[in-house]
Homo-oligomer: A and B are copies of this chain.
Amino acid sequence: MNIKHIVEQDNTVGGRVFNVLIYSLILVSIVTFSVETLPGLDEGVRKVLSVVEAVTVMIFTLEYLLRLFVANRKFRYVFSFYGIIDLVAILPFYVMSGIDLRSLRAFRLLRLFRVLKLLRYSKAMRRFARAFTIAREEIVLFAVVTVLLLYFSAVGIYYFESEAQPEAFKSVFHSLWWAVATLTTVGYGDVYPITLGGRLFTFFILMVGLGIVAVPAGLLASALSKARVEEQDE
Interface residues of A (CB under 8 A from B): 30, 33-34, 37-39, 103, 106, 109, 112, 115-116, 119, 122-125, 127-128, 134, 137-141, 143-146, 148, 151-152, 155, 158-159, 162, 166, 170-173, 177, 180-182, 184-190, 192, 199, 202-203, 206-207, 210-226, 228
Contacts and interface: CB of A to CB of B under 8 A. Distances in A.
A225 B219 contact: yes
A221 B213 contact: no
A184 B166 CA distance: 26
A224 B34 contact: no
Given A119-B144, A199-B177, A217-B218, A185 B184 contact: yes
Nearest to A155: B109
A139 B225 contact: no
Given A187-B189, A218-B222, 17 more contacts: A30-B151, A34-B172, A38-B171, A103-B159, A109-B152, A124-B141, A128-B138, A143-B207, A177-B199, A184-B185, A187-B188, A188-B189, A210-B214, A210-B217, A215-B220, A218-B221, A222-B222
Nearest to A170: B39
The quantity of this chain's copies bound in the complex is 4
A225 B224 contact: no
A140 to B, nearest CB: 7
A180 B206 contact: yes
A54 to B, nearest CB: 20
30 contacts: A37-B162, A37-B171, A39-B166, A106-B155, A109-B152, A119-B145, A122-B137, A124-B140, A127-B138, A128-B138, A138-B224, A180-B199, A180-B203, A180-B206, A184-B185, A186-B187, A186-B206, A188-B188, A188-B189, A210-B213, A210-B214, A211-B220, A214-B214, A214-B217, A215-B224, A217-B221, A219-B221, A219-B224, A219-B225, A221-B221
